[in-house]
């Protein structure tokens, strides 16, 4: 095959869905399946210490998993957009999640949320346990 003009198909970091259509805003990847958004031009942190700044949300949870023992818990506080409100982006923010994106990622990486505060807030505050 010679050179082609095929677009690079972007895959969603959360659900793996591909988005062949260019996003409305080309700097923001927006998943048409799960609603996860990622700023494509913002350089992410590679230490994976903060979910909204990490270059790779899956690496964030993999690191957490390797740092904790079974049944150990950690507090996960992350801004999430709700249908009625989107939190103000933070400077340098890479990843923009909905609460269902976080629940999905937790499940995928072997975690379970134990409790949550402020159910309707745009600040998700979860106590998470490694299974």
Query: Contact residues for Zn ion (CB under 5 A)?
Result: 12, 14-15, 17, 31, 33-34, 36
Q: Of 12 and 80, which has the nearer Cβ to Zn ion?
A: 12
Q: Of 14 and 124, which has the nearer Cβ to Zn ion?
A: 14
- Find the shortest distance in angstroms from Cβ 58 to Zn ion: 12
What does the block give as tokens for 58? Answer: 């899956």
Helix (H, G, I), strand (E, B) or coil at 65: helix
> Left, alpha or beta for 110 (phi > 0: left; psi -120 to 50: alpha)?
left
What does the block give as tokens for 34? Answer: 């799960």
- Find the shortest distance in angstroms from Cβ 19 to Zn ion: 8
The phi and psi torsions of 51 (rounded to 5 degrees) equal -60, -35
Q: Of 15 and 68, which has the nearer Cβ to Zn ion?
A: 15
């Amino acid at each position: 095959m010679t050179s082609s003009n095929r677009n690079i198909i972007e895959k969603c970091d959360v659900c793996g869905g591909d988005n062949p259509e260019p996003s409305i805003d080309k700097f923001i990847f927006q998943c048409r399946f799960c609603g996860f958004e990622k700023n494509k031009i913002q350089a992410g942190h590679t230490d994976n210490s903060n979910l909204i700044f990490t270059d790779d949300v899956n690496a964030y949870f993999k690191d957490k998993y390797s740092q904790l023992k079974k049944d150990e818990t950690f507090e996960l506080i992350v801004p999430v957009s709700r249908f009625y409100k989107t939190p103000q982006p933070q400077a340098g923010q890479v990843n923009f999640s909905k609460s269902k994106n976080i629940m999905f990622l937790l499940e995928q990486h072997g975690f379970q949320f134990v409790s949550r505060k402020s159910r309707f807030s745009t600040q998700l505050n979860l106590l998470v346990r490694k299974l």
